[in-house]
A and B are shown apart, each in its own frame.
Chain A
């Protein structure tokens, strides 16, 4: 019996390991709005922990990704196993359409409740805030507040991302128009003052870093990463507060590799991924991980309140109204 046990136990263990390994292999496809070079680094790190899982990536702006997904759903042939896109409004819309697969056992301990969908279909992976970038060669007195951007001579130098492209901009505009102090009047003032809208956040950092525009409304890491690389820019967290997005991860219903997809979600919510996103310039979302150097503590941020249900209901309206003011 002891002999039998000696032989059988390792075999049993080995077969269990083998079946576990078998489950977490193959190819998964991630649709994401995270920049290409960042996503490449993410996959490299993920593959160090999961060498058996090959990750394919499709990258585009969140709004365009949604358009692509809608087309694929219409074909009855969604290509994505996983989504890692900017905003929870888009995710909520997909969930309401029955496109997301619940993952009840996702490792959400340590994740703030606000980042987890109550139905466990999507999970925030980062905290990304929208604030103000300015060109340090052109601006002597940095703006301190959102209100400063509408001042005469300032508004004409402002560029912002358009919600027609960017998921972060969808949330930002949606949040700002819900604030009693701002509303659409704020955007009308910006438009009247000569502010322009580009495409995504990328066009904003390009224009400000090149010195074509003095000020930009932008997500923080893009500005701070450019600053770290030597571009003549700096970033301000406006005193009224910032809007936030959480870049949720979700599994698409009908995935042909559920185990590998769940492994990717697990990994995204784990410490290794969190530390990597800090290195890439994001605020972490789990306790005990420090934000990137030079960033305020998450607790010190003033976050503008936002009603995401209302934002979802008004999604088309917001985009149309924005397009009326800024073109497109």
Chain B
């Protein structure tokens, strides 16, 4: 102890920062930059050069200009902007309201409620869309027996821009919920007690203290939700294609599926339009969060402060919203998996497990898809955690400028639509690798690399923000005591960020397990994934079979979450997002 005091005294912190950067760190940074450069930046740059290239007539930026002059592209652009904007309004209102109610009221079964609120993150958008189509269709297994289903022959009301906005809004609501809830939990109880002692009423505490403090989180979460909506493929594909509401992601997919690699330049230019929209949003996020964030001192975390009728109302709102947005569509999905054929009403006489027997029992392909998805997403989660911890360390604790650049590049594959990133990977990794002479296209490797690169930000973000809250002196002390880089990473940094990194890794696993958009372009025979199987079956007109696999994969993820929850009591607090 005395030693630490003395060395701290001898070498003041500002002086320590002027020391040349240790070589280990430079090597680590180089390695990380190479990894991110090769698997995130390079593919996207290739795509960019494709998009910004000249057209057949050799005009400067010809491809992009040709795309922009197309009526279909401009319609898709405005549709994307409009539907994503409306979706964000839904996400922000719902996410903020739920976060406030769950945090401030003594809600019954809070852990279960939080888990169900976050469940849209675990359920891929094509399953969500499929479930809502079942719920609102004229043969709805839930609404039809109640006499509430739309009359046969009228189109499903969800096949519209409004339907797309509503579903995307619900699906991306957890981004807002998580951000707002984290910011509320960071508000010290002392602040509320102080306000109480000063005689401020609960309503005013919420509107004048908590709401302003949560505002940066609302904005930050909303912008993430906006970026997610821009890149969403499952919802516009299932609702927008039959509803004649083209969006940029579906236009890209349709052009590519219809015309093949010959339209690569055109498709790449469409993806640049999407990329520019997302980049603008994320820049705005950076500026807003920096302007609006208020540093608050730590202390006892916030306790529920609503009592009486307000608490009951909040509880009812939370569980009502959960029933409508999470439980009902899943029940509809289960219902759909039990009918013998599309369009048949579910009843005790018609219910059958034949879809399960046909898809799981009879088909080795489906079983293999489950095994593939399991291994691929576990591998991607592990890789993302291993990359994220040192990178977050260099960014947050060492405040390295180059590392921050690497971090923003690492964000790119997550921001661009999955279809676009998959395309970029194909462009780069189609040809045999320079030194090895083998092509990884058509193997599991390309899927693994794509998953790891695409979902890295899911670990990187929570890990970086966890480390930003850490006093840099801790690491400085380690340095001055002569602890080497990897020792510090293993014994100082890793224990501190473990909860955030594991939670991020978990999110990667669960997101990648049901992933569709990237897999749809990169899968190959023998390397089928669960998402691809569901999409294929639905596409083939076998949505009862698709519903059966969806039900099983959702069940699997839920069981996994339950298992983790059991273990969660031994994990550090904050590891499981629904247990915070």
Contact residues of A with B, CB < 8 Å? Answer: 29-31, 35-37, 40-41, 56-61, 63-64, 66-67, 70-72, 74-77, 79, 135, 137-138, 157, 159, 162-165, 196, 198-214, 222, 226, 229-233, 316, 319, 323, 327-328
> B430 touching A71 by the CB < 8 A rule?
yes
Q: Which of B373-381, B533-541, B564-572 lies on the face that meets chain A?
A: B533-541
**Which partner residue on chain B sits nearest A194 by CB separation?**
B244
- B541 is contacted by which of A56, A63, A206, A316 (Cβ under 8 Å)? A206
- B524 is contacted by which of A58, A208, A328 (Cβ under 8 Å)? A58
B256 on the interface (CB 8 Å rule)?
yes
> B362 touching A328 by the CB < 8 A rule?
no
- Most chain-B Cβ atoms within 10 A of its Cβ — which of A29, A58, A135, A138? A58
**B contact residues around A212 at 8 Å (CB):** 137-138, 153-156, 159, 242
Q: Which of B81-89, B110-118, B257-265, B464-472 lies on the face that meets chain A?
A: B257-265
B478 on the interface (CB 8 Å rule)?
no
Q: How many Å lie between the Cα of A36 and that of B368 in the bound state?
A: 14
* A58 → B minimal CB distance (Å): 4
- Chain B, interface size category, equals 35 or more
Given contacts A77-B432, A319-B259, contact A72 B359 (CB under 8 A): no
B441 on the interface (CB 8 Å rule)?
yes
A-B contact pairs, 21 of them (CB 8 A): A36-B540, A41-B362, A57-B365, A58-B525, A60-B536, A71-B260, A75-B431, A75-B439, A138-B152, A138-B153, A164-B257, A165-B257, A202-B541, A204-B541, A212-B137, A212-B154, A229-B340, A230-B340, A231-B343, A231-B344, A328-B251
- Most chain-A Cβ atoms within 10 A of its Cβ — which of B137, B426, B431, B540? B540
- B359 is contacted by which of A37, A79, A328 (Cβ under 8 Å)? A37
Q: How many Å lie between the Cα of A59 and that of B532 in the bound state?
A: 10
Besides A58-B525, A208-B343, 16 other A-B contacts (C-beta < 8 A)? A36-B536, A58-B523, A67-B257, A67-B261, A71-B426, A75-B439, A76-B431, A198-B242, A207-B242, A210-B139, A222-B541, A229-B340, A229-B341, A231-B343, A327-B244, A327-B246
* B88 → A minimal CB distance (Å): 25
B358 on the interface (CB 8 Å rule)?
yes
> A67 touching B242 by the CB < 8 A rule?
no
- B362 is contacted by which of A37, A138, A199 (Cβ under 8 Å)? A37
> B430 touching A74 by the CB < 8 A rule?
yes
> A76 touching B257 by the CB < 8 A rule?
no
* B343 → A minimal CB distance (Å): 3
**A contact residues around B574 at 8 Å (CB):** none
B281 on the interface (CB 8 Å rule)?
no
- A64 is contacted by which of B72, B257, B359, B364 (Cβ under 8 Å)? B257
Interface contact tally, CB-CB below 8 A: 179
Interface flags, B332-349, vs A, CB<8A=1, else 0: 000000001111100000
8 closest Cβ pairs, A-B complex: A164-B258, A202-B541, A209-B343, A229-B341, A67-B260, A211-B152, A58-B525, A209-B342
Interface flags, B149-177, vs A, CB<8A=1, else 0: 00011111001000000000000000000
**B contact residues around A226 at 8 Å (CB):** 341-343, 541
* A190 → B minimal CB distance (Å): 14
> A56 touching B525 by the CB < 8 A rule?
yes
- A200 is contacted by which of B154, B342, B426, B539 (Cβ under 8 Å)? B539
Interface flags, B360-399, vs A, CB<8A=1, else 0: 0011110000000000000000000000000000000000
> B526 touching A202 by the CB < 8 A rule?
no
Given contacts A36-B540, A198-B242, A199-B241, contact A209 B442 (CB under 8 A): no
Interface flags, B220-245, vs A, CB<8A=1, else 0: 00000000000000000000011010
Q: How many Å lie between the Cα of A74 and that of B264 in the bound state?
A: 13
Q: How many Å lie between the Cα of A29 and that of B528 in the bound state?
A: 13
Q: How many Å lie between the Cα of A76 and that of B429 in the bound state?
A: 12
> A205 touching B254 by the CB < 8 A rule?
no
Contact residues of B with A, CB < 8 Å? Answer: 72, 137-139, 152-156, 159, 241-242, 244, 246, 251, 254-262, 340-344, 350, 358-359, 362-365, 426, 430-432, 439, 441-442, 523-526, 533, 536-543, 545
Q: How many Å lie between the Cα of A199 and that of B533 in the bound state?
A: 17
Q: How many Å lie between the Cα of A265 and that of B7 in the bound state?
A: 79
> B341 touching A61 by the CB < 8 A rule?
no
- B258 is contacted by which of A72, A79, A210, A328 (Cβ under 8 Å)? A328
> A63 touching B343 by the CB < 8 A rule?
no
Given contacts A37-B545, A67-B260, contact A328 B246 (CB under 8 A): yes
> A209 touching B525 by the CB < 8 A rule?
no
**A contact residues around B359 at 8 Å (CB):** 37
Q: How many Å lie between the Cα of A135 and that of B439 in the bound state?
A: 48
**B contact residues around A35 at 8 Å (CB):** 540-542
* B550 → A minimal CB distance (Å): 15
> B431 touching A316 by the CB < 8 A rule?
no
> A203 touching B261 by the CB < 8 A rule?
no
> A199 touching B539 by the CB < 8 A rule?
yes
> A67 touching B342 by the CB < 8 A rule?
no
Given contacts A36-B363, A138-B153, contact A76 B432 (CB under 8 A): yes
> A210 touching B432 by the CB < 8 A rule?
no
Q: How many Å lie between the Cα of A165 and that of B254 in the bound state?
A: 8
Given contacts A138-B152, A199-B241, contact A74 B261 (CB under 8 A): yes
Given contacts A37-B362, A79-B524, contact A72 B540 (CB under 8 A): no
* A221 → B minimal CB distance (Å): 11
- B341 is contacted by which of A79, A135, A159, A231 (Cβ under 8 Å)? A231
**B contact residues around A138 at 8 Å (CB):** 152-153
**A contact residues around B542 at 8 Å (CB):** 35-37, 202
* B240 → A minimal CB distance (Å): 10
Given contacts A75-B432, A229-B340, A230-B344, contact A40 B365 (CB under 8 A): yes
* A102 → B minimal CB distance (Å): 24
**A contact residues around B341 at 8 Å (CB):** 209, 226, 229-231
Q: How many Å lie between the Cα of A244 and that of B4 in the bound state?
A: 84
Q: How many Å lie between the Cα of A15 and that of B378 in the bound state?
A: 48
**B contact residues around A41 at 8 Å (CB):** 362
> B362 touching A40 by the CB < 8 A rule?
yes
**A contact residues around B525 at 8 Å (CB):** 29-31, 56-58, 79
> B442 touching A79 by the CB < 8 A rule?
yes
Q: How many Å lie between the Cα of A31 and that of B526 in the bound state?
A: 12
Q: How many Å lie between the Cα of A56 and that of B155 in the bound state?
A: 39
**Which partner residue on chain A sits nearest B538 by CB separation?**
A202
**A contact residues around B246 at 8 Å (CB):** 327-328
Q: How many Å lie between the Cα of A75 and that of B428 in the bound state?
A: 10
Given contacts A60-B536, A200-B539, A203-B541, contact A211 B139 (CB under 8 A): yes
- Most chain-A Cβ atoms within 10 A of its Cβ — which of B262, B343, B523? B343
> B153 touching A157 by the CB < 8 A rule?
yes
- A211 is contacted by which of B153, B340, B536, B537 (Cβ under 8 Å)? B153
- Most chain-A Cβ atoms within 10 A of its Cβ — which of B153, B426, B545? B153
* A131 → B minimal CB distance (Å): 16
**B contact residues around A205 at 8 Å (CB):** 342, 541
> B343 touching A37 by the CB < 8 A rule?
no
**A contact residues around B254 at 8 Å (CB):** 164, 323, 328
> B342 touching A61 by the CB < 8 A rule?
no
* B173 → A minimal CB distance (Å): 27
**A contact residues around B430 at 8 Å (CB):** 71-72, 74-75
> B358 touching A211 by the CB < 8 A rule?
no
**A contact residues around B262 at 8 Å (CB):** 70
> B540 touching A200 by the CB < 8 A rule?
yes
Q: How many Å lie between the Cα of A1 and that of B102 in the bound state?
A: 95
> B260 touching A70 by the CB < 8 A rule?
yes
> B541 touching A72 by the CB < 8 A rule?
no
Q: How many Å lie between the Cα of A166 and that of B294 in the bound state?
A: 56
* A311 → B minimal CB distance (Å): 16
- Most chain-B Cβ atoms within 10 A of its Cβ — which of A70, A205, A209, A328? A328
**B contact residues around A214 at 8 Å (CB):** 153
* A201 → B minimal CB distance (Å): 6
**B contact residues around A70 at 8 Å (CB):** 260-262
**Which partner residue on chain A sits nearest B260 by CB separation?**
A67
> B441 touching A211 by the CB < 8 A rule?
no
